[in-house]
A and B are shown apart, each in its own frame.
Chain A
Amino acid sequence: MTNRIEINTTVNGETVSRMVEPRTNLVDFVRYDLELTGSHVGCEHGVCGACTIRLNGEIVRGCLMLAVQADGGLVETIEGLSENGKISDLQEQFLIRNAGQCGSCTPGMLLTADALLESNASPTRMEIREFISGNYCRCTGFEAIIDAIEKTAQTRQKER
């Protein structure tokens, strides 16, 4: 056993202080230590995007970061973004288009789509494809997901 290390982070707006093993990755930390199981785990080597989490406002692979690296950082998960309403329109479009089926990819897909719309308010379908290229979906065939993201962008543009 190696020494545990104390970390202090803000997770979905709440201050969290925990002792963690250095080898614990960020997504396991939020799932097992904090019981926030909305972030999923697929491949554990960076390929599928199911584990997408926001750290300091940027999306990251939760399986490719250590929990100790989130010390002093701001962590946001799908639970936080769902509760604060930031992505409610995106979630609604996912529902309407049936863009989430088994739901395995959905939290990561939503966080990635949200990051895209933050940096590009009216992406083309090609830009959407490229941005979500690191998130695997085994159910939908992606078209419905792209529709939902595109529709959200269009609606937000109209409402501005």
Chain B
Amino acid sequence: MKPSPFDYVKPASLGEALSLLSDSDGEVAVLAGGQSLMPTLNMRLSSPSLLIDINGITELDGIEVVEDVIRIGALTRHQVVQSSADIAQHAPLIAMAMPHIAHPAIRNRGTFGGSIALADPAAELPACLCALGATIEIAGNKGRRTVSAVDFFKDLYETDLADDELLTAVEIPVLADGYRSAFEELARRHGDYAMTGLAAHGLIDGDKVSDLRLAFFAVGGTPVLAKNAAAVAEGKNIGDEMISAVQSALEKDLDPFDDLNCSAAVKMLYAKELTSRALKALIR
């Protein structure tokens, strides 16, 4: 299908984009990479009267390391993040997740900020941000504010972002000494959204893990931090017995729902398997 008609504007600055957003009557859509918005327009799942193309706002693009955080501008394309040496060094979890996001032609357009703003429950990046304790930066006409990733994701496709605000950047603490990450995902086809996925991050000392964060995706409306499982893992050596204890604790953390790809029961099974794989990967 083809989209319904709309008008198109391409502001050159953040200020201009924000005033366009606040002046509008709500029938607007923000166009970043378009890799999720365009399908919804083509299928007429949404019919905005105005499209605000933010691709001309160069200040939203790029990756920089500032002291102990790595800052990823909202417009940074997936492909750029995937091949960034700074990301590989300071946020290896993100580097591990990137190849799982869609396909090369889509990664050439899709943006980091778009994935976060969209908050697809089966998307990789929201879970990674929760595992890494990232902060999301938002601009509105009243100024800038920040919110932690864990508080940003509210519900299915629902975030803390207001209609007249734009996501400007994400800040991730650079990898601290002794910390390691693991990323596991099961999908029907390489690049598809996950059936179940896990972003794991923790302090590793020999075989011992502490401060573990297990952020699951595609098992709830938002990324789910498995707190009980992390508590069971705290201070223990990673091994078979420990892994089964962590897996059992997951039943208190996760309450998956059926989706098109698999049932809730299968998702729970996958979550346990991915936990085992991720824990082993953390000490490999």
Residues of chain A touching chain B, judged by Cβ–Cβ distance below 8 Å, are 1-3, 5, 21-23, 25, 28, 44-46, 49, 52, 58-61, 63-66, 68-69, 112, 115-116, 129-131, 133-135
A interface SS class = mixed
B35 & A58 in contact (Cβ 8 Å cutoff): no
A69 & B55 in contact (Cβ 8 Å cutoff): yes
B103: Cβ under 8 A from any A Cβ: yes
B2 & A28 in contact (Cβ 8 Å cutoff): yes
Complex alpha-carbon distance, A116 and B191, angstroms: 16
B55 & A23 in contact (Cβ 8 Å cutoff): no
Residues of B contacting A129 with CB < 8 Å? Answer: 190
B7: Cβ under 8 A from any A Cβ: yes
Complex alpha-carbon distance, A111 and B145, angstroms: 42
B109 & A133 in contact (Cβ 8 Å cutoff): no
B22: Cβ under 8 A from any A Cβ: no
Residues of B contacting A58 with CB < 8 Å? Answer: 79, 105, 108
Q: Min CB distance, A130 to chain B, in Å?
A: 5
Complex alpha-carbon distance, A59 and B103, angstroms: 11
Residues of B contacting A130 with CB < 8 Å? Answer: 99, 190-191
Partner of B43, one of A3, A21, A45: A45
Partner of B35, one of A3, A64, A135: A64
Which of the four size classes fits the interface of chain B? Answer: 20 to 34
B143: Cβ under 8 A from any A Cβ: no
**Interface contacts beyond A46-B38, A130-B190, A134-B104: sample of 17 additional A-B pairs, CB < 8 Å, sorted by A:** A2-B6, A23-B4, A25-B38, A45-B42, A45-B43, A60-B105, A63-B42, A65-B34, A66-B31, A66-B38, A68-B10, A69-B55, A116-B104, A129-B190, A133-B103, A133-B191, A134-B105
Complex alpha-carbon distance, A2 and B51, angstroms: 12
Complex alpha-carbon distance, A52 and B189, angstroms: 19
Complex alpha-carbon distance, A25 and B1, angstroms: 11
Partner of A45, one of B7, B39, B51, B55: B39
User: What are 9 residue pairs bridging A and B, where the CB atoms are less than 8 Å apart in the complex?
Assistant: A5-B8, A44-B39, A52-B105, A58-B105, A60-B105, A64-B34, A64-B106, A133-B189, A133-B191
Residues of B contacting A66 with CB < 8 Å? Answer: 8, 31, 34, 38, 51, 53
